[in-house]
Chains A and B, each alone.
Chain A
Amino acid sequence: MSLTELHLALLAGAPRHGYDIKQEHDSWFPDTRPLPYGQVYATLARLQRDGLAEVVETRVDGGPERTVYALTAKGSARLRAWLAEPAAPTGVGAEEIVRKTVSALHTGIDVSGFVARQRAAHLRRIRDLQGTPPGAGPAERLVREHLIAHLDADLRWLELATELLPAPDDQPTVRSDERKPA
């Protein structure tokens, strides 16, 4: 489940308390279901328990006491590892690719590397699906074409996302095995 990593991405810009994290999430994904406070606090407790985030401050600004969390080195490594892997090119239930792309663009962590890996994963899957397996009939082919159409839509969306939301600080660090010398 990537909600853990998504919370790490939301914490990557600056230490935040639960209320800030919810606000930030809802601004990143304005048309999805707002993040419930209960889920934020449960996730933060789990991040703290697992050593991925730590409490850095307790603020009382005339209101209720607010606990401020920050990423630990382990949390930062976990976030980077998540963004280093493309989302599974399933073509259906594509929330993961949206979460990863929006997180990469907002955090600025290796955006061009992320886009390269995601495109490669999707294109490889399209290529696999374009091959007709032995004995496949028209119905199997239609199912495959449906998946190809969804993967194509993902890639078109990814292209639009990278054009509309240029990353703040994009430093390409594509893995050497993913990249051929020019």
Chain B
Amino acid sequence: MSTVQLSGVSHAYGRTQALSDVSLTVEPGEVVAVTGPSGCGKSTLLMLTAGVLRTQSGRIVVAGTDLAGADDAARARFRRRAIGLVLQFGQLVPDLSVRDNVALPLLLEGHRSADARAAADGWLDRVGLDVEPDTLPADLSGGQAQLAAGARALVAGPQLLLADEPTASLDTNSGRALLDLLVKTTVQAGGSVVLVSHDNAVAARADREIRLRRGTIAHQVALS
């Protein structure tokens, strides 16, 4: 069974058509890069696949869940269980410490807080975030917030890791190290990765490139 299956998916913001009749699959263990110029629909595709945006038309099945038929609460549960999400600016919860931000997916799933926090500390160490665990997001640099978001995405062992410009706030070395960790950890556990990026060095890490242009698929090519 494919990890991601999109069939005839379209999406509009008011009168602006962001995606038109997009169909694609992502297989278990596969790394896919979604590329294309600004405004081509990359982030919309990612947010629909994450269940953040509600499906308007077409069918989206991710990790066995049909998102078109799921209400907001069901999609939130699905995200906690199956999805690791890394966004460009980290998007951490401002009132929680870095440690609690990373532990949050486990806490929401009912894990003991001591276990969740210990797991969070382990992942903060692996992503190379060298700050006190009690630090608040407001005191982090953009790059540090992105590392914390990487740790949060991996802590629950996602079936699908979705990353939107995951290295944009990091220097070349740190960005590459985070990308390595995100991809290797997820794929070795049998999960799939979808990377949305302008950065060709990020796209080059994928097994396949899906290129969008004006809301449709311009091409798909195997890279590995």
Chain A residues packing against B (C-beta within 8 Å): 112-113, 115-117, 119-120, 122-124, 126-127, 130, 145, 148, 151-152, 155-156, 159, 163, 172, 174, 178-180, 182
Contact = CB atoms under 8 A, between A and B. Distances in A.
Given A119-B211, A123-B200, A156-B200, A179 B221 contact: yes
Contact of B204 (A112, A127, A172): A127
B201 interface: yes
A151 to B, nearest CB: 7
A contacts with B: majority SS: helix
B27 to A, nearest CB: 10
A120 B35 CA distance: 12
A123 B176 contact: no
B208 interface: yes
9 contacts: A113-B219, A119-B209, A119-B211, A123-B203, A123-B209, A124-B224, A130-B176, A180-B221, A182-B25
Contact of A112 (B201, B219, B222, B223): B219
A152 B197 CA distance: 13
Contacts of A113: 219
Given A119-B211, A123-B209, A127-B205, A182 B221 contact: no
A126 B204 contact: yes
A14 to B, nearest CB: 29
Given A123-B209, A130-B176, A178 B204 contact: no
